[in-house]
Amino acid sequence: SYDLTQPPSLSVSPGQTASISCSGDKLEEKYVSWYQQKPGQSPVLVMYQDMKRPSGIPERFSGSNSGNTATLTISGTQAMDEADYFCQAWDIRTYLIFGGGTRLTVL
Amino acid sequence: QVTLRESGPALVKPTQTLTLTCTFSGFSLNTRKMCVSWIRQPPGKALEWLALINWDDDKYYNTSLKTRLTISKDTSKNQVILTMTNMDPVDTGTFYCARMVWDGYNNFDYWGQGTLVTVSA
């Protein structure tokens, strides 16, 4: 089966850049999406097709995918960005896969 | 606008079968490329994709859970139904339905609010 690996947690100070990684075998050959989930809420799509932002997602969110790693970058991180972030991809054998999630703390 | 809403029992007993319904609006599962998936999340844990049904009635399942899952649709009611057999306490969690457009990028652009299912005797 195909797996996506994320660091469990990441802490940044307000205004700093947060880079959340998602690793998988030859991940650059797949399209990666990212979801933000705040406590008690449903996930929200914040990035798709590696680097495209849905309408309404702030420009400080950006994405990249190269080699075995996709990265969600939040520039000028704000307190409101504190949440769990999940990467997701499609694999021809496993179909839809989520990473284990990264808890972003802004302190 | 697109909305999805999950419904079903909040409590099921071990070994029972869970049946959940996703009622949606703002799109049709008769429209090419439209899909609906079920995703679950144990308390404090990661998202886990369960099953997907598309406009053409093709069905895809999480390979680890395939023997326990059945997904179906009722396009006249704009509903997608998931059954999960032989429920166990480890299956406790929030179950979400979400829309996916089959465009090669395959992501979930709209989610329901989720329904919490507890498995306990």
pLDDT (tens, 9 = 90+) of chain A, 107 residues, equals 899 999 999 999 999 999 999 999 999 999 999 999 999 999 999 999 999 999 999 999 999 999 999 999 999 999 999 999 999 999 888 899 999 999 999 99
pLDDT of B103 above 90: no
> Is the pLDDT assigned to residue B59 strictly greater than 90?
yes
Q: Cα separation of A11 and A7, whole Å?
A: 11
Residues 40-59 of A with CB under 8 A from B: 42-45, 48-49, 54
Tell me the average pLDDT of chain B.
97
Residue B78 predicted with pLDDT over 90: yes
Alpha-carbon distance of A62 to A99, in angstroms, equals: 18
Tell me if chain A has a CB within 8 Å of the CB of B47: yes
Cβ of A24 under 8 Å from any chain B Cβ? no
Report the chain B residue with the minimal C-alpha distance to residue A41: B113
pLDDT confidence of residue A94:
85
Give the residue among A73, A47, A51, A44 at the shortest CA–CA distance from A60. A73
Find how far residue A33's CA is from the centre of its chain.
7
